[in-house]
Amino acid sequence: MRICSLLPSATEIVADLGLIDSLVGVSEECAWPPEVKSKPRVTAARVDSANLSSAEIDSVVRGSIADGNSLYTVDADLVDELKPDLLITQDLCTVCAVSSGDLASACPIGVEIISLDPGTLGEVADTVTLLGDRLGAPDEARRIVEEMRRKIDSVRTATEGLPRKRVFVAEWIDPPFCGGHWVPEMVEIAGGTDVMGEHAKPSFSTTWDEVIARDPEVVVVAPCGFLADEAARRASHLRLPCRVVAVDADSYFSRPAPRLADGVMQLGHLLHPDAVPDPGLAAIELHVPTG
């Protein structure tokens, strides 16, 4: 089976299934596990996020969407050269990765396309099962799903009955976006109450004044596409009347892959450190209220 993954989370899952050698092409955003960085890149982002501010990135993205333009280019010649049997894409978020609509002129005739569009933690687990069954690795998929559920259930049990912390997860910084899809569910399992995000619903933009009006006790800075160090740098200007901590969103919050379970563990520790052990993931404290 020759697999071309245009979705970072799918690339992670394929690798977790022990099928990394079957990946013949990946997207520009695919970076985990590190071995995939040497795979041919069949897509490229039109937005140079590294050299733009959060506000500038938001402006470019909004403009592209309004004009009906894709945020990504697909190298149709390279895809054809790689001769994949299976292309994995998504339609959940046109900002985060190549969507099936972007493949209209880049998909070789006869290639199978799978679109993964989970909106909850359970649906993320279902995508693991789906790919495991399709790729001939059902037992490994079952093991991965069981491990996800074990981690999540351990946090749910540890935080049951504890006072719930009021939380805002910033999926973007300027303007702020609340966490969407599975993120409010992660907060709930971790013993918190998401002050704005809605279970299984997309994120949406707001203002920091509105966030403050919701009286969060903790703001988790988790901008889509960035690791903890870059998230902390981009949020260093924030002056909020509550605890503010930056995390590695790209690995543990933004992408619908098994590592979301580790993100649940991290949230549980951030909100209830005496009840949930520290999983050892990057977390940078930007502000801790005194008094």
Give tens-digit pLDDT for 30-68: 999 999 999 999 987 666 656 666 676 656 665 555 555
pTM over 0.85? The answer is yes
Q: Does domain 161-287 have CATH number 3.40.50.1980?
A: yes
Burial class (CB in 10 A: 0-12, 13-18, 19+), 226: buried
pLDDT in tens, 71-123: 667 888 898 899 999 999 877 544 454 555 555 555 555 688 898 989 999 99
> How many CB atoms neighbour CB 150 within 10 A?
10
Instruction: Compute, in degrees rounded to 10, the torsion defined by CA atoms 103, 106, 109, 111.
Output: -60
pLDDT of residue 102: 55
**Predicted pLDDT of residue 70:** 57
3 state SS of 281:
coil
The CA distance from 212 to 242, in Å, is 9
Quote the DSSP letter at residue 97.
S
- Delimit the domains of the chain by residue range: 3-117, 161-287
**pLDDT tens digits for range 126-140:** 999 999 999 999 999
Q: What is the pLDDT of residue 118?
A: 93
The reply to whether domains 3-117 and 161-287 share a CATH topology is yes
148, burial (CB in 10 Å: exposed 0-12, middle 13-18, buried 19+): buried
Report percent pLDDT > 70 for the chain.
83
How much of the chain, in percent, has pLDDT values that exceed 90? 71
d(CA 107, CA 39): 18
Inter-residue contact 253 to 212 (CB < 8 Å): no
- pLDDT-derived band of residue 183, with 50, 70 and 90 as boundaries? very high
Neighbours of 143 (CB within 10 A): 15
Residue 178 clears pLDDT 70, i.e. is over it? yes
Q: What is the mean pLDDT of the chain?
A: 88
**Ramachandran area for residue 42 (φ above 0: left; ψ -120 to 50: alpha; else beta):** alpha
pLDDT score recorded for residue 82: 93
CATH, domain range 3-117: 3.40.50.1980
Q: Specify the pairing of strand 165-173 against strand 23-26.
A: unpaired
